[in-house]
Structure formats: C-alpha cells, structure tokens
Structure 1
Amino acid sequence: MSVPRVVLDSGVVDLAETDQEFRWVVRDLVEGGWEAVIPTVVLAEAVTGRPTDAPVNRAVKRLGTKDTDQAMARRAGQLRSGAERAKTRRVPSGIDAIVAAHAADAGAGVVFTTDPVDLRRLLADFPQIAVERP
C-alpha cells in the first residue's frame, strides 16, 4: 500500500500557512511519513494573481504540487459519475473529483476541505480516507 496522503483542497491551501494550528497538523502528518498533496488544478480556484495569494504561494513552495495525469483524470471522472448516480444533490465539481482522486490513489489518508459534503460523496467507497474541515 502507498504512503497515506494529506490532500489540500482550494479553500484550505492558504490555511496551511495562516492558521498556526492547521499548519502544525499538516507538518506533523508530513513528519510522520504522510505525503502532502496540493493538486495543481486546485491553484485555479485558490489564486487570483493578487498580493493576497502570498499564503497560497508559500504553501505551494513548502509542500509542492502534484500534476493530474490521464489515469488520475479518468479516476476523477469515475468518482464523479458515481456521485452523480447517487442523485442526492448536484454533481460535485470536476476539481473536487480530482482532489478526491488524488486521495483515493493513495488508498488511505485525509482530505482537508471547506466543502466536506461533496468530497465525502465522491469518496463514499473509501472509508479509509477521512474528509475533514481544518
């Protein structure tokens, strides 16, 4: 099995720098052997091109990003399709599906997000992946 993964969604990337307690949580997980992942596509929602991007830029510099290859994109599509078939709410976004796919790829871990409902729907078949607010 892969190393457990901590995946950051767009609404929390800046908190990895600005919220000291959350920064410690991420640091402790990484120091404990977890892989921190900021999917590159998350930047599309997290940055504006303004100086207010500084915390996001620092988090990216410290933790790095992970590209989404074709296999990961296909997995995201499958997760999104599964959530769509559940017909409980609107279909989760493609970016949320990519975030979920990066978590599912590791097999175990946690996704930190400001939108736990959609990500829990996407990861319903992965009980070993927690979806939490920071």
Structure 2
Amino acid sequence: MTADNQLTRRQRDDLRVVAGMIIPASDEYKVPGADDAAIQADLQATLGRDSKLVVAALEHLARLAGGPLAELDAGRRDAVAQEFRKHGGVAAATLVRVVLQCYYRDDRVLRSLGLEPRAPFPKGHVLPDGHWSLLDPVKARAGTLRRAT
C-alpha cells in the first residue's frame, strides 16, 4: 500500500480480477460480478481494518502468479487461484470475506435476491423460523465443553 493507505495500481487490478473470479457476473440473474466498478469502489473505500490482510493476500497472489495476476491468461489465473485457496490462510479468507461483504451490499444484488436495498435497521429484516430441533445434539452435549478459566 502507498503512504495514503490506498492500494497500488497493480493491487487494484489484481483485486478486480480475483473478485471477478470469486463472484462472476450472471446474465441469468442479471447481476454484476464482484469486479464491477461500483462494487470495486465500495470495496476499496471500506477496507479499513482488513487492509493489511487484503494486501498480504494480493501480494501472495502476485508471488504465485510470478507478477501481476491481472496480466495472466484465464487458465494460468485459475491455476494460481487453486494454489492460493490451498495455502492462502487467514489472508485469503479475509480477502474472500471482504469481497462477499461488498458484493452483497450492492443495491442491484439485493434487488436480485428480492430484498429491499436499504439498511437492515431500524426496520430489520424478517427471517423465517428455523428448525430449533437442529440444536438438540448440541444441547445434549452440555458440560462436555471445556470451561473458561
């Protein structure tokens, strides 16, 4: 990252490419990919505390690619992505989480899911009741977990 806490040009290009690989555009559902300019702008503007891990993930991708990921052909990108998934660790998980968070904040994506594009509060979103019986095995293990000291 540069001194003003922004990604370098190569990092931005690689972020766009990898985000598009994580969530490609869909003509069927009429939604953009995570490489969409508006989604990318939101992602870069809201990195915040995740900046260091996202940069670490992008640098790891660049090392695996032997240079900018964005300059590789699709086949080589896929091979690099497979290796990255295996060995990317916490930085890779953070990168994926950040991409997903920004993608599912986009109004176009929310509309495609049948959701009103608005903040979840104060109105909230109604969730259907789940099957609470799914928690019965966990409740039955009461006392088998280690106690906090």
Q: Note whether the superposition's TM-score is higher than 0.5.
A: no
> Bigger relative contact order, structure 1 or 2, given CA contacts below 8 A and separation 6+?
1
Which structure's residues are more often helix, by fraction? 2
Structure possessing the higher radius of gyration over alpha carbons:
2
Which structure's residues are more often strand, by fraction? 1
With normalisation by structure 1, the TM-score equals 0.26
With normalisation by structure 2, the TM-score equals 0.24
